[in-house]
Amino acid sequence: MELGLTGKTALVTGASRGIGLAIAQTLAAEGVRVVGAARTISPELEKVAAATVSADLATREGAVGIVDEAIQAVGGIDLLVNNVGGGDVDRLVIGGFLDIPDEQWQAVFDLNLFSAVWTTKAALPGIIERRGAIVNVSSVNAHVPAVGPVAYSEAKAAMTSFSKRLSEEVAPLGVRVNTVSPGVIGSSLWRDEKRFGGKLAEAFGVSHTDLLASIPEQFAIASGRIGEPEEVADLVAFLLSDRAANIHGADHVIDGGTLKVA
């Protein structure tokens, strides 16, 4: 399917690995000039990006700064993908509500919600002028708030609501805003035993290998497997393209059938 994205420009956050890297790679293969932003720039991102920007996207200064640098690098932004999320595993407390320090709430919301708010606010005037599109990467956790680290599901639910609210405002101006909500995806977030998957296995007292093997059953994934970053990237690319010209304000769940209620 020809997506008609050749010659467009895009800013992708959290682009150094996982879903963000897959999105950058897919868009670049479609002829998009990608500016990849992340705290640490990976060699894989440098191979596909027209430009890269290193910044702490959990701060307003970092989020706004990447927009300015992206515009300088490629002359303007047609497409914005707010993908950055998760958090530093060494600072993440796994436990119940009473176990979680206030600092975790603030840190998780800064990275998983406010980074998108700040980046979008800075980029939106140019995107309106170019009649572009925005995809915000949320999570299936937005629909199941009792699952996952405290504050993460809440932040992603707010991200999904923010996206719908923004779409209502800018759709009449020719700008499309949609959300993609992945389930468990086989990125380094889960497959690297030093990141979240490993920490979760430790909290449950099981091996990292056994945790990964049990996920499809534990999450009742209808397809019987976890997803892959490239599958999410393909969905994002479609939503950014004119092939999705009348899709506005929708949350697209890609979870292998984890959610049982729409």
Which helix (H) or strand (E) is 179 found in, with range? strand 176-182
Cβ–Cβ < 8 Å for 119, 63: yes
The pLDDT of residue 88 is: 65
Burial class (CB in 10 A: 0-12, 13-18, 19+), 125: exposed
The pLDDT of residue 94 is: 75
- Interval 82-120: pLDDT, tens: 999 986 666 777 778 898 899 999 999 999 999 999 999
Q: Please report the DSSP string for 94-137 in residue order.
A: PS-GGGS-HHHHHHHHIIIIIHHHHHHHHHHHHHHHHT-EEEEE
How many structural domains does the chain have?
A: 1
Judge whether 73 lies within some domain. yes
- Interval 232-248: pLDDT, tens: 999 999 999 999 999 99
Judge whether 189 lies within some domain. no
The pLDDT of residue 21 is: 97
Judge whether 63 lies within some domain. yes
In which band, very low, low, confident or very high, does the pLDDT at 254 lie, cut at 50, 70 and 90?
very high
Range of the domain at 28: 9-184+228-254
Which residues are designated catalytic?
Answer: 152
Which helix (H) or strand (E) is 216 found in, with range? helix 208-218
Q: Is the pTM of this model over 0.85?
A: yes
Of 5-9, 52-56, 125-129, 213-217, which gets the smallest average pLDDT? Answer: 213-217
Higher pLDDT, 213 or 186: 186
- Interval 8-63: pLDDT, tens: 999 999 999 999 999 999 999 999 999 999 999 999 999 999 999 999 999 999 99
Cβ–Cβ < 8 Å for 141, 87: no
- Within 10 angstroms of residue 211's Cβ, the number of other Cβ atoms is 19
As a dihedral over the C-alpha atoms of residue 242, residue 22, residue 116, residue 147, rounded to 10 degrees, the angle is 110
Judge whether 236 lies within some domain. yes
The pLDDT of residue 22 is: 98
Judge whether 100 lies within some domain. yes
Judge whether 152 lies within some domain. yes
Judge whether 215 lies within some domain. no
What tokens appear for 221 in the block?
């994934």
Judge whether 160 lies within some domain. yes
Residue 49's CATH number: 3.40.50.720
